[in-house]
Amino acid sequence: MTITEEIQSLKKEKNAVILAHYYVAPEVQEIADYVGDSYYLSKAAAETGAQVIVFCGVSFMGESAKALNPEKTVLMPDGKADCPMAHMADEETIRRMREKYEDLAVVCYINSTAELKRLSDVCVTSANAVKIVKALPNRNIFFIPDRNLAHFIAKQAPEKNFIYNEGYCPTHERMQTEEIKKAKKEHPDALVLSHPECAGAVLELSDYVGSTSGIIKFATKSSGKEFIICTEEGVAHELKQKNPEKKFYFTDTLPVCPDMKLVTLEKVLHVLKTGENEVHMETELGEETRRPLERMLELAR
Ligand code: 13P
Ligand code: SF4
């Protein structure tokens, strides 16, 4: 049996479903039942009838899946795959902001630990953040942890007063305007499509800004033939599959998220066989984490 066949047969035997983010390796995306951005995957996790969820992504994704499905088994192929940005906010600052501002909503990017989510009013992903922030009754918005996404949303919601937090994604922040300008010189007809986790200067050079699935949709619908993609290189797999005739370029310093790349087929097989790396969450933490996640699913509908 090949490794893929073994995974497929264990999946049936254990009533398991495999979820994969666009940033994991192509061969892992290939064996998944659901491949998508953070919003799509959180909906898939909330709706699945399977007993076991294997989450090919980083720990905040597994935690969110567990919070939404306390009675299910959530397995992480690599228990050390973690998003550094998920830790870039702190409880003390959230408490201070709540004291300082009346009418405050703490809006938490889904790329955050369960401990941060439980202190927040609502979660968002890059695909639904503008819609949700605009729908909130509060004028004051403390957005954690990502400053770049916060600035991007604030521009589209001028009626809100944004308070920023200094978190960022190291993989997206590494993308420099110089390299994008160089790529544009080499491919003058290419459109620049960027993720809002990129720095503001990069977004200003962009023809489109959106989540990973937004980028894929834009490139697929566009009459353009060439694109410079400013997000993690894993999206290239879906982009090429959907658009075999189009060309996709990245910056010379290839944007690679080291944590997403910890997920391998061998590790998927291993956790399916052994049940290792199960996500455990105390009941109270799970319930408090579920609340802002469910509010997100409700408001994004
Ligand atoms: P989206 O999946 O919302 O596009 O976010 C990208 C990301 O960094 C996930 O870790
Ligand atoms: Fe976190 Fe950035 Fe990796 Fe996404 S790409 S998981 S935000 S470090």
* Domains of the chain in sequence order: 3-82+261-284 (3.40.50.10800), 85-169 (3.40.50.10800), 175-254 (3.40.50.10800)
Pocket test for ligand 1, best of 37, 63, 153, 198 (most atoms within 8 A of CB): 37
Q: Atom 7 in ligand 1: which residue has the minimum CA distance?
A: 38
pLDDT at 248: 98
Per-residue CA distances from 256 to 5, 174, 227 (Å): 28, 10, 18
Residue pLDDT, tens place only, 210-265: 999 999 999 999 999 999 999 999 999 999 999 999 999 999 999 999 999 999 99
| Contact indicator for 140, 102 with CB cutoff of 8 Å | yes
pLDDT at 206: 98
The two three-digit tokens of residue 24, written as one number: 């994991």
pLDDT at 58: 98
| Ligand 1 contacts CB of residue 37 (under 6 A) | yes
Cα separation, 152 vs 147, whole angstroms: 9
Pocket test for ligand 1, best of 195, 198, 261 (most atoms within 8 A of CB): 195
Alpha helices in the chain (DSSP H): 3-14, 26-31, 38-47, 59-68, 91-100, 114-117, 129-135, 147-156, 170-173, 177-186, 200-204, 212-221, 236-242, 265-274, 283-300
Cα separation, 235 vs 20, whole angstroms: 12
Q: pTM for this one?
A: 0.96
| Ligand 1 contacts CB of residue 251 (under 6 A) | no
pLDDT at 199: 97
Q: Exposed, middle or buried by CB within 10 Å (0-12, 13-18, 19+), for 159?
A: exposed
* Strand partners of residue 53: 17, 74
CA 251 to chain centre: 21
pLDDT at 16: 98
pLDDT at 11: 97
Identify the segments of the chain with pLDDT beneath 70.
none
CA of 40 to the centre of ligand 1 (A): 10
